Structure 1
Amino acid sequence: MSSTTDVTGDTRVDGSVTIDAVTHVYGSGRDSVVALGPVSLDIAAGEFLVLVGASGCGKSTLLRLVAGFDEPTDGTVHVSGRPPTPGVGAGVVFQQPRLFPWKTVGGNIDLALTYAGTKKSERRIAREALLERVGLTGTEDRKIWEISGGQQQRVAIARALAAENSLLLLDEPFAALDALTRERLQEDVRRVSHESGRTAIFVTHSADEAAFLGSRIVVLSARPGRVALDISSDLPRTGIDPDELRGTSEYAALRAEIGHAVKSAAREN
């Protein structure tokens, strides 16, 4: 994606991310914990970067820094050439859905579409398309507490896809889903990222998920998280059936390389 327009009307937004010598520390004094860093990454516009590593290695911390929810202790993060602003320029999907419980499924989607600037006359069609994409057709009028945790997470994914942001940040969004739904949404997110050209950063524990989704895969070491492996994937992103792709020797080799790196990195420090 070479250019898009954010909510401020700025047309320079391209979705590139620059992480320069970033370190993040939780707490202070004797109780302080160095969670991350130093980490430096240049993520090109349109790239699908997967962050993978063992629990506690700083994957989610790094994602929060890119989203602008936290500030690095040292170093800098820039999105499209400037410091990130929470809620601007990126759609975010967390490990937990974080939906508005007083609204219906459709109401949650409509709110996201409203913030995205979708005209009122166009919201119904847009809402139905988003719900169909995540496998929730016909659930518009259901209350949030009436659907399962996995379905709630699918609503959260649809909400993040509502805006044509240049950057999509996903923090293990498929962990609570059944295997078939998880694979379907992996395919959807992979396709949407490619077709729209939006940049994506995806956090996972799974070497298999990283191999399937990533155009680039970064493995983080044990805390404090540092880059242990940074590789690009040559696997085709279009023109091949997902099941066929998963059955290739190239896919198996990439998955094995990532899995080995994750295990080795978890033993570091």
Structure 2
Amino acid sequence: MSSSPDAAVEVRDVVHTYGTGPAAVTALGPIDLHVPPGTFLVLVGASGCGKTTLLRLIAGFEQPTTGTVTAAGRPPVPGRNAGLVFQQPRLLPWKTVGGNVGLALRYAGVPRPERSSQVTTLLNRVGLPHVAGRRTWQLSGGQQQRVAIARALAVDNPLLLLDEPFAALDALTRERLQEDLRRVSVDTGRTCVFVTHSVDEAVFLGSRVIVLTSRPGRVALDVDVDLPRSGVEPDELRGSPEYAALRATIGHAVRAAAA
């Protein structure tokens, strides 16, 4: 069965099992997903439901036990088909902020004379002007995650994968970074797949939210988030009746799926 040419991500008949024999554990599936370009897809569910496993399959870090995964119509290749942001920033402490982003540009094949201006552009995009010369350990946790997002955006591909990147941050910083990421996704038009435990985060960030069942992870709910993605203040959006209704629907589905 061929993959759909208009899909940023296609997951077909996927089952993923860890181990073999009596000790084998099926973590995911069967599951099917069709993700059009430009979608901000959020995967939400209880711990152990297979969210990160599915993200790793899309990134190409693992191969499905059965079924197929494609990104832009091709089997994913780790580090090539997608920018990646993890729970921890994973920055190189011996390099400056600009050096970390510049290294990603180097691996992406950007000519050396062009890197400095692109570093500035990327750091401005994530709200970090004038920090290129600072060391990573001089930044707060939220600022380091912004650098990690800038580094992921340095790779010129249409897919961005994020595995609970704000989980370790305080509530205020988390909200600010959610707002930054939402703006960046609108500005760049990139397809995003975002993993979270937070229903509120899922509703705020996603243009589409998928709730996974407890192990093995399957689709319990697949809902489009019909909320404006630009031109509205974050507090106004979070306080709207439509936002509250979606949060209630998705929260109920998460609780039911984990039961």
1:243 Cα deviation (Å)? 1.7
Aligned AA for 2:210? V
Matching of residue 222 in structure 1 with residue 219 in structure 2? no
Change (3 A) 1:195 1:144: closer
Paired residue for 2:92?
100
Give the 3 Å change call, closer, same or farther, for CA 207–249 of structure 1 in structure 2: same
Aligned-partner SS, 1:164: coil
Structure 1: any 5+ residue segments left out of the alignment? 1-12
Aligned to 2:177: 185
| Equivalent position SS for 1:102 | coil
- Residue in 2 that maps onto 1:170: 162
- The match for 1:212 is 204
Task: Please tell me whether residue 116 in structure 1 is matched to residue 90 in structure 2.
Answer: no
State how far apart, in whole Å, the 1-side matches of 2:38 and 2:171 are: 27
Shift in Å, 1:148: 4.0
| SS across alignment from 1:118 | coil
**C-alpha offsets along residues 165-214 of structure 1, whole Å, 9 cap, x if unaligned?**
11010111111223333223222222222232211111011110110111
State the partner residue of 2:223: 231
| In 2, Cα distance between equivalents of 1:181 and 1:63 | 24
> Counterpart amino acid of 1:231?
V
TM-score where L is the length of structure 2: 0.91
Aligned to 1:10: none
The farther-off stretch of 122-131 and 83-92 is: 122-131
Q: How many percent of aligned residue pairs carry the same amino acid?
A: 67
**Cα distance between partner residues in 1 of 2:154 and 2:22:** 44
Q: Higher mean Cα deviation, 220-229 or 151-160? A: 151-160
Q: What's the secondary structure of 1:61's corresponding residue?
A: helix
TM-aligned CA distance change 1:171 to 1:241, over 3 Å = same
CA contact (8 A) 1:215 1:233 kept: yes
Residue 170 of structure 1 aligns to a residue in which SS? Answer: strand
- Corresponding residue for residue 44 of structure 2: 52
Cα pair distance change 1:125/1:183, threshold 3 Å = farther
- C-alpha displacement of 1:23: 0.9
Any residues of structure 2 matched to 1:251-266 within 5 Å, and which?
251-266=243-258
Number of corresponding residues? 256
| Alignment check: 8 A CA contact 2:142 2:177 kept | no
Q: For residue 59 of structure 1, what is the amino acid of its counterpart? A: K
In structure 2, the partner of 1:61 is 53
Query: Which amino acid letter does the alignment assign opposite residue 247 of structure 2?
Result: R
Provide structure 2 residue ranges, at least 5 long, that are not aligned to the other structure.
Answer: none
What amino acid does structure 1 have at the position aligned with 2:203? Answer: A
Partner SS for 1:25:
strand
Q: How far is 1:141 from its partner? A: 3.0
Q: Letter of the aligned partner of 1:90 in structure 2?
A: A
TM score, norm. by length of structure 1: 0.88
CA deviation after TM superposition for structure 1 residue 244, in Å:
1.2
**What is the alpha-carbon distance in structure 2 between the residues aligned to residue 266 and residue 114 of structure 1?**
43
- State whether residues 15 and 46 of structure 1, in contact with CA within 8 Å, keep that contact through their aligned partners in structure 2: no
